[in-house]
């Protein structure tokens, strides 16, 4: 087992992370009933191109337990970005499989939830890639 270094979450303002989680859970679990196991999950899911860790909370949604809130270091803005990873991309889904339509329906619903969560974060002023991109374009100086 490799030693665990400082969490990139230590760089995220706790109130921003709490707000992001509250918005995510409110959309992913509209009834307000959140499984106990969901509240216990934190994992490292990868690294950014410069080696910074991407951390994820596997919070799921009412139909799919594997969707994640991801936090990654970012050199601009607030120093981090939030994103939703639907975690439902299949390399080779057989379009003729009996459950292919059901799976595509699940993917479409996961995408709807992802967009709703990321939009809510953006509206709340939390750092998302689209917010960063919009701010970058707005502040770009014509060449």
pLDDT by residue (tens digit) across 88-105? 987 678 889 999 999 999
Assess if residue 121 is contained within a domain.
Answer: yes
Q: Is residue 4 part of a domain?
A: no
The reply to whether 20 falls in a domain is no
pTM exceeds 0.85: no
Going by pLDDT thresholds of 50, 70 and 90, the confidence category of residue 1 is very low
Q: Is residue 39 part of a domain?
A: yes
Q: Which range of residues forms the domain containing residue 127? A: 33-138
Structure tokens at 108: 């479409």
**128 domain-assigned:** yes
β-pairing, 53-58 vs 43-47, is antiparallel
**Residue 27 belongs to some domain of the structure:** no
Average pLDDT value over all residues in the chain? 84
Q: How many separate domains does the chain show?
A: 1
Q: Say if 56 falls within a structural domain.
A: yes
Annotate 9-29 with DSSP letters as a single string: GGGS-HHHHHHHHHHHHHHHS
User: Residue for token digits 């970058």?
Assistant: 136
Range ranked top by mean pLDDT from 3-17, 43-57, 106-120:
106-120
Q: Which helix (H) or strand (E) holds 45?
A: strand 43-47
Kindly compute the dihedral angle of the four CA atoms of residues 5, 8, 13, 18, in this order, to the nearest 10 degrees.
-100
């Amino acid at each position: 087992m490799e030693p665990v270094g400082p969490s990139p979450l230590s760089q995220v303002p706790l109130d921003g992370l709490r707000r992001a989680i509250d918005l995510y859970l409110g959309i992913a679990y509209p009834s307000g009933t959140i499984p106990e196991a969901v509240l216990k999950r934190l994992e490292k899911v990868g690294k950014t191109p410069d080696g910074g860790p991407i951390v994820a909370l596997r919070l799921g949604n009412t139909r799919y337990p594997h969707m994640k809130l991801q936090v990654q270091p970012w050199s601009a803005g607030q120093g981090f970005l939030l994103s939703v990873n639907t975690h439902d991309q299949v390399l080779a889904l057989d379009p003729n499989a009996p459950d292919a339509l059901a799976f595509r329906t699940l993917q479409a619903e996961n995408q709807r939830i992802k967009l709703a969560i990321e939009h809510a974060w953006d509206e709340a002023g939390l750092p998302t890639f689209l917010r960063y991109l919009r701010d970058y374009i707005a502040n770009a100086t014509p060449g």
